[in-house]
Amino acid sequence: MHTFAELIIVFVILLDLSLAVTGGLAACIRLVALQGVVAGLLPLLAGHGAPHPRGVAFALVIIILKGVVFPWLLTRARERSGARKDVEPLISYPASIMLCLAAFIASSWLGSRLPLPETEVAWIVPASLATIFTGFLLITTRSKAITQVLGYLVIENGIYIFGLALFVEQPLMVELAILLDVFVAVFVMGIAIFHISREFDHIDTAELSELSDWRRAGDAK
């Protein structure tokens, strides 16, 4: 069974790398959804024997939310905002993938240093950390508001996998709480993105810095 889980981990890492180089917004949304579904399958495969019915139910909820509801919300927000179809990165794709690889190396080192209990699935801690870093990468180097929501979701996937590594016994309770937060957050962000695009005719966060009065005060000086 663990080979399956390890395959999934490898798949998650590959998804991280492809997120770093994907230019299309729609493709990004699909990749994040796929990663969420794959991560949601993980607890079913990581345990011993047949999974508990409650676990199956939780996994189903997670998979539906991350695989269906969130992508639907985000796709809707993207279409309504009428934004350009690419993610408009602030740094080049090669740089992104280099950073992603660097993050993976750093996570491997960090994973070996963190005082964590022994995990049964190899690479689970580095993979989760790498996913979190990828999420931060998406947030900090892409200029659209939607990609920030996507980054947020990727971070959530990473935290979820990390939680699996730590609390194999009750990851679902923790996850459920986080999921609730994420759901609300995505919802709010979807609305916010819609309003931003309506007010400003774009969802480029760089333009939002025009709202800052500090800069003007400094320039006027």
DSSP of 138-193 = HHHHB-BHHHHHHHHHHHHHHHHHHHHHH-SSSHHHHHHHHHHHHHHHHHHHHHHH
Look at residue 74 and give its three-state secondary structure: helix
Nearer to another protein (CB atom), residue 132 or residue 172 = 132
CA neighbor of 125 nearest in space, from 1, 6, 34: 6
Q: CA neighbours within 13 Å on the CB side: how many for 186?
A: 26
Q: Does 141 bind another protein (CB under 8 A)?
A: yes
- Restricted to residues 157-216, the positions that interact with another protein (CB under 8 A) are 205-206, 208-212, 214-215
Smallest separation, CB 189 to another protein (Å): 12
Type of residue at 19: L
Q: Does 117 bind another protein (CB under 8 A)?
A: no
Which of 101, 110, 168, 174 is in the footprint of another protein by CB under 8 A?
A: 110
Which of 34, 61, 114, 166 is in the footprint of another protein by CB under 8 A?
A: 114
Q: Could you tell me how many residues of this chain bind another protein (CB under 8 A)?
A: 22
Residues that bind another protein (CB under 8 A): 90, 110, 113-114, 136, 139-143, 148, 205-206, 208-212, 214-215, 218, 221
